[in-house]
Structure 1
Amino acid sequence: MALSASSSFLSGSITLHELKAPWISSVRLLDQSLVPSLPWDSYRRRLSVKPVCAELRRSDSVVPLAAPVLVPEVEDRVETEDYERLAKELEHASPLEIMYKALEKFGNDIAIAFSGAEDVALIECAKLTGRPFRVFSLDTGRLNPETYRFFDTVEKHYDIHIEYMFPDAVEVQALVRGKGLFSFYEDGHQECCRIRKVRPLRRALKGLRAWITGQRKDQSPGTRAEIPVVQVDPSFEGMNGGVGSLVKWNPVANVEGRDIWNFLQAMNVPVNSLHSQGYISIGCEPCTRSVLPGQHEREGRWWWEDAKAKECGLHKGNIKKEEVAQLNGNGNGATPANGSATVSDIFNSQNLVSLSRAGIENLARLEDLREPWLVVLYAPWCQFCQAMEGSYIELADKLAGSGVRVGKFRADGEQKEYAQRELQLGSFPTILFFPKHSSSPIKYPSEKRDVDSLTAFVNALR
């Protein structure tokens, strides 16, 4: 985004059709139109806010006991908003306009969820609206040092106080004593995330009527492709309790990641130093790593799992019921027991051999192959398998007639247990090379899945 584009954005007249970049920030300003004839500085005041986890409102009536008062019974009338209609109306609105609408509508009962990553754009956007706003964050106790320093930088840059939520110490203690510090590497990340993130978030949202997130459709095609700019939260409750008591705003839902970064650079907004080290999607330190050029940003999260839904539970409402049915107990993706799936198969080429269970077993059993084989273990619904489809097909075409056979084996569903036990399957995709005169396949160790990297791997072993 050029600076000229930022100027249009600041004017408030630009829409997402003209500029796909929205943003955020926190300031405490008094509407100058209320005091047009008096100096602004003399009316600057710090906004007093209740904690995010405030108790539910009470409606105790205060009536003098000595004077009986007859009050006619009046039926409570609660104004309801059609948020599906509002989402359609704001579908092409700029993030700034969406942010202003959210802050205007909910005032002190709404807060921005800040993760310490690129959703600092939300804080910048909130600042640009000129309206008061609140920011909260979940401190899991396992964040990177760079993230903690970034929190401090953001507070000083915007002159705000981030409202931190912490996990229950007793629950964390029980988990660590019972399973150790890194149990999520063995049985999935869901339990740890539930204790350190989901439950603290639930407490935070109990003190609000609405919250603002940095979700984007392009962050996770498997779970976020259909998120609206505003919705009734499908998973959490607000201060009034019950289904429908919390509204969720996603001002940058329709913005692409590159446009977020163009905006941050144009506005000279502070960013987490981890981004310069290849981190895009940033979570807890043990569960986040940098991604390589060409990899999807969510591939750096929970990389040891082959989860179709790369979510920690904060936005579990994004996962459709039929997708939840495909997740097994430890959070790893799996198709139904019969191996069927509604998605189309991938890696289709005349130079690629589709191996059956019997075929891959024979290949693994033989110790004297006529030709070496390169085989990808995949699941067609996996976005990371889909991302490497083009390069793998190109490699197969390149190796045609070279003496190296290229194949694929669908290793999800009922084949998954076998692939994990016998074929070194850790996550999808897993690439194996079966050399001549060898009793076991060699697993491709790198995350680089471009043609040149895969070719170098094959040439080193053929």
Structure 2
Amino acid sequence: MALAFSSSSSSIAFSSSNPRQEQGVQVTSSNLQFSDGCFPAPASLSLSRKRSQAVKALNAEPKRNDSIVPSAATVSAPDVVDNKPVDVVDIEKLGKDLENASPLEIMDKALEKYGDDIAIAFSGAEDVALIEYAHLTGRPFRVFSLDTGRLNPETYKFFDTVEKHYGIRIEYMFPDAVEVQALVRTKGLFSFYEDGHQECCRVRKVRPLRRALKGLRAWITGQRKDQSPGTRSEVPVVQVDPVFEGLDGGAGSLVKFNPVANVAGNDIWNFLRTMDVPVNSLHAQGYISIGCEPCTRSVLPGQHEREGRWWWEDAKAKECGLHKGNIKEENVNGNGAVNGNVTPAVADIFESPNIVNLSRPGIENLLKMEDRKDAWMVVAYAPWCPFCQAMEASYVELAEKLAGSGVKVAKFNADGDQKAFAQQELQLKSYPTILFFPKHSSRAVKYPSENRDVDSLLAFINALR
């Protein structure tokens, strides 16, 4: 079957791979009815080669601002219209049933229940494991990826390798060219280094993803609990997506499967090696978590994988927005980020004779000193913060190791009335914030890592002494 679409500004043609279907269909712009501000979304959808049934468009376009002009779009025209009612799935029960299931079992159940209405989100990193699991089920499956325009060359080559290995076509989603142009012309190519990555990610990733998910009832991600202890430690294997909407629209209209949520990173790699799955060549260069080229770098041995992403920002910014629902909007978010002013009544922490308890005047004096007799290590914390509590043992041990070394270890309760001061003077954006005051420098150096074990803290101190 051939389908041609023509208008005054563009012409798009589609042809069926079935040689027996020769009848042509001509569609003109006068035949198409769109509501004001809505346009057909780009949707060249791919399947595994086992798929025999036509596919519904993945990216039903949401209403958009009239100032955004769409580029020419590819639109799939299914040969078969499926009017069967959609089964209502009890997500809470399904989650309990799959809580301890294997990734293969979770993947099989997801594909069984949602068929053409579900797709795998593929980033070009180790979540190729998801494609392998889908392939092992023997069921048809769909894969989509976000091409931000800023990916590494190695990632593009990897996309091509994966397509050939599995005999599929990845469904690429692209950012709106006009939005990208406006961002770059207004703020430059690398504005995210100065004012944070959220705006760029919103244009290049979040909005294209939102368009893609509007054509689905469920999606599959490669999130793991050990990827980011601050934001992903409670990721379930199946959930109602808390952020995005699906095909039917409205809250609760999209289901999110995380088949490898309970799998450790090492086990993922053992699986990939065992199954001889192709992987991104950047992994061999020290890259673990792979995103856009300007925002991704390799990590050193012992560093957490997310430290290679947006390394110039605080821990609370380690999500690009695709999984924003992981971040809790409470007094402390998933990374200890400061959101509110409520101070729960809890016992103080970091209690040790080797740790100096600094008052507000004490920390102010330390800030003013330009020539200190000793170097100082100071943690700005909130007693109720679970991440502060989690590092208490290692910080106490650090103080014991540094006793008499010329480095004093201290704490400053930056909660409650002191929070505004700490945010302005101590670079506080999340609890805990760890600062090192060198002996002969007036400037405090902020500890940049999420690793708060004794060895990591000592390495930081020794690098600045």
Q: TM-score, normalised by structure 1?
A: 0.75
Cα-to-partner distance string for 1:377-405 (whole Å, 9 max, x where unaligned): 55678898778655543332112133431
Q: Alpha carbons of 1:289 and 1:381: their partners in 2 closer, same or farther (altered >3 Å)?
A: farther
In structure 1, distance between residues paired with 2:114 and 2:337: 38
Distance (Å, rounded) in 2 between the aligned partners of 1:355 and 1:227: 37
Q: What one-letter code is carried by the residue in structure 2 that aligns with 1:254? A: N
Match 1:365 to one of 351, 368, 380: 368
8 Å Cα contact 1:371/1:404 also seen in 2: yes
C-alpha distance after superposition, 1:274-305 (max 9, x if no partner): 22232222222222223333333223222222
For 1:140 and 1:249, the matched residues in 2 are separated by 23
Q: Which moved more, 1:123-132 or 1:206-215?
A: 206-215
Aligned to 2:309: 301
- 1:350 is the counterpart of 2:353: yes
Q: Does 1:29 align with 2:50?
A: yes
Residues 287, 416 of structure 1: CA spacing in aligned structure 2 closer, same or farther, 3 A cutoff?
Answer: farther
Q: How many residues align?
A: 400
Higher relative contact order (CA 8 A, sep 6+): 1
SS in 1 for 2:88: coil
Opposite residue 283 of structure 1, the aligned amino acid is G
Measure the CA separation in 1 of the matches of 2:57 and 2:225. 30
Alpha carbons 2:352, 2:396 under 8 Å: kept: yes
Identity %: 73
Question: Counterpart of 2:251 in structure 1: which amino acid?
Answer: V
1:333 to 333, 337, 340: 337
1:124 is paired with a residue whose SS is helix
Work out whether 1:432 is the aligned partner of 2:453.
no
Partner of 2:67: none
Whole-angstrom CA distance in 2 between matches of 1:221 and 1:292: 18
SS of alignment partner, residue 305 of structure 1: coil
Name 2:124's counterpart in structure 1.
116
| Structure 2: distance between partners of 1:343 and 1:185 | 37
Contact 1:334 1:412 in 2 (8 A): no
Q: Deviations over 1:414-457 (max 9, x none)?
A: 7566556555668864431331xx35146378858765675576
Secondary structure of the residue that 2:412 maps to in structure 1? Answer: strand
The question of whether the paired residues in 1 share the 8 Å contact of 2:433 and 2:446 is answered with: no
- Tell whether 2:82 aligns with 1:52: no
Relative to structure 1, is the Cα distance of residues 244 and 366 closer, same or farther in structure 2, using a 3 angstrom cutoff?
closer
Q: Decide whether the 8 Å contact of 2:111 with 2:139 is kept in 1.
A: yes
1:13-68 Cα distance to aligned partner (Å, 9 max, x none)? xxxxxxxxxxxxx74337xxxxxxxxxxxxxxx6644442257999xxx9xxxxxx
- The residue aligned with 2:181 is 173
Structure 1 residue 81 and structure 2 residue 89: aligned? yes
Of 264, 269, 288 in structure 2, the residue corresponding to residue 261 of structure 1 is 269
**Distance change (3 Å), C-alpha of 1:247 and 1:354:** same
Instruction: Give how far 1:201 is off.
Output: 0.6
Shift of 1:336: 2.0
- Give 3-state SS (helix, strand or coil) of 2:251's partner: coil
SS in 1 for 2:120: strand
Q: Residues 420, 290 of structure 1: CA spacing in aligned structure 2 closer, same or farther, 3 A cutoff? A: farther
1:121, CA displacement in angstroms? 0.4
